[in-house]
């Protein structure tokens, strides 16, 4: 009888250890991308704290293999960066005026373009790239590129103080954020050499100074402005306060997992930049003192 119970206990123990290890492996796999100055780094979120960082990937934009030397000056102040193509490539744009697509494994440049005061970038179906340009000469607009044709604008539309661009596959719409406006575009002639966008709808923001745009679900967008953070219900087309950080000013980037109630964000603490990434549930602060961080993105 004792032998039987010991055998059952052993099975239970083995199962418990397997589940624990599996959970830890899953937990340890979450990565975040932070950028600032001429640096982009991918951190292991779960093993990074206010006193230590676990860096999984590091790139200086002045040292990208295959990128023309003439692009270096346009990549000095990184302000957005997203993992795309199943985490095989990294899209990076800079307020200094450039956008690049790099291979994660080799860090080699796959695409580049001069994009004045670019503030957000998004990967679209068909290997296309959308870039939102803020205030600058030849800025204040939305541009579309083909990743196989560097520095060749395929489509453009005016967008004052372009700061956000997010593709929503479930709705087959591209959402963009400007100074006081949210827009939704559909894809036009997308399989042709000359694709375009059609403006489907636009909404006036409840507050000026649009900064970041993030789709927290297929039914909700999060929008940061100069003084607050808002949610936008895509079914009712209504704005409301995003209560976890509704009254937080100068939020530069926001990520929210609705199911896990997990929030990650950055905010301007030293002028427009910071040296910290903030997390809620779990609550922690990751210090990045060596660069002036603007945005953080989460690899899903």
| pLDDT tens-digit map of 190-231 | 999 999 999 999 999 999 999 999 999 999 999 999 999 999
Residue 132 within a domain: yes
CB-neighbour burial class of residue 191 (10 A; exposed 0-12, middle 13-18, buried 19+): exposed
The one-character DSSP state at 75 is G
Mean pLDDT lowest among 11-20, 30-39, 105-114, 192-201: 11-20
Can you tell me whether residue 221 is helix, strand or coil? Answer: strand
Reading the block at residue 116, the tokens are 């004045």
Q: How far apart are CA 257 and CA 54, in angstroms?
A: 22
Residue 251 within a domain: yes
Q: How far apart are CA 61 and CA 57, in angstroms?
A: 13
The span from the first CA to the last CA of the chain, in angstroms, equals 49
Residue 22 confidence (pLDDT): 39
Residue 29's pLDDT band, with cuts at 50, 70 and 90, is: low
Q: Are 136 and 180 in contact (CB under 8 A)?
A: no
Report the sign of the C-alpha dihedral through residues 103, 58, 214, 111, in that order: negative
Range of the domain at 217: 30-299
Residue 123 within a domain: yes
Q: How far apart are CA 188 and CA 172, in angstroms?
A: 11
Q: How far apart are CA 89 and CA 72, in angstroms?
A: 19
The one-character DSSP state at 19 is H
| pLDDT tens-digit map of 275-287 | 999 999 999 999 9
CATH number of the domain within which 39 lies: 2.130.10.10
Residue 15 confidence (pLDDT): 40
86, 128, 202, 178 alpha-carbon torsion, rounded to 10°: 90
Q: How far apart are CA 251 and CA 268, in angstroms?
A: 6
Q: How far apart are CA 298 and CA 254, in angstroms?
A: 9
Q: Are 101 and 67 in contact (CB under 8 A)?
A: no
Whole-model pTM?
0.90
**DSSP H stretches of helix in the chain:** 2-28
Q: How many CB atoms lie within 10 A of CB 102?
A: 24
Total domains present in the chain: 1
Residue 300's pLDDT band, with cuts at 50, 70 and 90, is: confident
Q: How far apart are CA 131 and CA 162, in angstroms?
A: 9
């Amino acid at each position: 009888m004792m032998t039987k119970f010991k055998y059952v206990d052993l099975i239970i123990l083995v199962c418990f250890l397997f589940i624990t290890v599996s959970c830890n492996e899953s937990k340890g796999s979450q990565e975040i991308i932070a950028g600032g100055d001429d640096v982009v780094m991918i951190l292991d979120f779960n093993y990074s704290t206010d006193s230590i960082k676990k860096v999984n990937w590091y790139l200086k934009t002045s040292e990208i293999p295959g990128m023309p030397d003439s692009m270096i000056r346009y990549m000095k102040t990184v302000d957005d960066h997203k993992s795309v193509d199943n985490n095989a490539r990294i899209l990076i744009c800079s307020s200094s005026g450039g956008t690049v697509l790099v291979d994660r494994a080799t860090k080699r440049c796959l695409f580049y373009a001069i994009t004045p005061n670019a503030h957000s970038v998004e990967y679209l179906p068909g290997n296309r790239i959308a870039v939102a340009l803020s205030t600058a000469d030849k800025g204040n607009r939305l541009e579309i590129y083909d990743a196989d044709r560097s520095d060749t604008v395929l489509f453009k539309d005016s967008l004052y103080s372009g700061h956000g661009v997010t593709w929503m596959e479930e709705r087959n719409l591209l959402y963009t954020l400007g100074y006081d406006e949210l827009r939704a575009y559909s894809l036009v002639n997308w399989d042709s050499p000359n694709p375009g966008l059609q403006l489907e709808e636009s909404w006036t923001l409840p507050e000026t100074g649009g900064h970041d745009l993030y789709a927290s679900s297929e039914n909700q967008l999060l929008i940061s402005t100069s003084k607050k953070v808002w949610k936008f219900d895509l079914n009712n087309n209504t704005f409301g306060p995003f209560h976890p950080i509704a009254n937080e000013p100068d939020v530069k980037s926001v990520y929210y997992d609705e199911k896990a109630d997990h929030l990650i964000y950055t905010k301007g603490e030293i002028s427009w930049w910071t040296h910290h990434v903030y997390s809620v549930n779990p609550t922690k602060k990751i210090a990045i003192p060596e660069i002036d961080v603007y945005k953080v993105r989460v690899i899903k």
